[in-house]
Amino acid sequence: MLFNFREKLNSSKFLVTAEVSPPKGTSFSVPLEDARQLKGIADALNVTDNQCSIMHMNSLAFSKLLLEDGHDPIMQLTCRDRNRIGLQSDLLGAHALGIRNVCLMTGDFPSCGDQPGSKPVYDLDSVQLLQVVKKLNSGVDFAGNKLDGGTSFCTGAVSGINPEKPLQLIKLEKKVKCGADFIQTQAVFDVGMFEEFIEAINHLDVPLIAGLIPLRSLSMAEFMNENISGISVPEEIMFRMKAAPDPVDEGLTIASETIKEFMKLSRGVHIMPIGSHKNTPKLLSMAGVSDK
């Protein structure tokens, strides 16, 4: 089965990617059904890799299940749980199974997850893992040994959006130099900050897909402001969520307005709902991205 996320990256199409989580167990019917709501809407689906250090089915297996179900998966891969041998082994296995898109990241520390006694690996960081994939794509492994068949991955990375964090911007520049084909950002609530971020990186020639988390309540907004580094929910949005008679609907309205701004600023939107995608088709319709 052939997909064309790489070709879409090089087109003028406004892209939609969305995040899905593998099950915490072996029964995959519920997350697979959730993903089916995005058929014909999302250009590709990111499959999380033990997100927030909470143990789930691995991203490789669920990416393959999505592939068989007619989706174009982006397999996320973190450096937290594997050394360089395991990372390369999983990448070769993913390619052999038909997975062509990956998104590479360092990964959250295990102490924040549901297995806090786990020992982190972090043999490589996300920049080095990008170098690994660049080598695999050229037909050699990270040590320079020739492969019996190389890879052809479309490779993504992630970034925060705070223009006042120079080390973050330097790391993003390194990721682009090391072969990132696209960047997906942390959730954006402050469009003004995002515009400043765009100005700070406008010398980088890479498609940027802006992250979006639809709000469902004031408490959700307060939690992200207080607990998630790099996320800033402006006071105006906090006031709207507090005053809304239906916070879920107001959150969708705010998210649709944000997507319309993204259409002027970025190559696409990356939707990360907390929970299911039941409201994602409605959101994209509200934003004028989809008629479903």
What kind and span of H or E run contains 75? strand 73-78
What CATH number is given to the structural domain containing 272? 3.20.20.220
271 touches 265 (CB < 8 A) = no
Instruction: Kindly state whether residue 237 falls inside one of the protein's structural domains.
Output: yes
Q: Residue 272 has what pLDDT?
A: 97
Instruction: Kindly state whether residue 222 falls inside one of the protein's structural domains.
Output: yes
Instruction: Kindly state whether residue 32 falls inside one of the protein's structural domains.
Output: yes
How many domains are contained in the chain? Answer: 1
Instruction: Kindly state whether residue 9 falls inside one of the protein's structural domains.
Output: no
Amino acid at 9: L
Q: Residue 228 has what pLDDT?
A: 84
Q: Which two tokens stand for residue 170?
A: 């330097």
Q: Which domain holds residue 154?
A: 14-286
Q: Over the stretch 121-153, which tens digit does the pLDDT of each residue have?
A: 999 999 999 999 999 999 999 999 999 999 999
DSSP label at residue 26: S
Q: Which two tokens stand for residue 189?
A: 């609530």
Instruction: Kindly state whether residue 4 falls inside one of the protein's structural domains.
Output: no
Cβ partners under 8 Å of residue 22, min gap 6 = 28, 31, 47, 48, 56, 57, 58, 59, 61, 62
Cα 204 versus chain centre, distance: 19
Pick the closest to residue 75 from 53, 101, 95 (CA basis): 101
87 vs 92: CA distance, rounded Å: 9
Instruction: Kindly state whether residue 218 falls inside one of the protein's structural domains.
Output: yes
Instruction: Kindly state whether residue 178 falls inside one of the protein's structural domains.
Output: yes
Instruction: Kindly state whether residue 195 falls inside one of the protein's structural domains.
Output: yes
pLDDT under 50 in the chain at which residues? 1-2
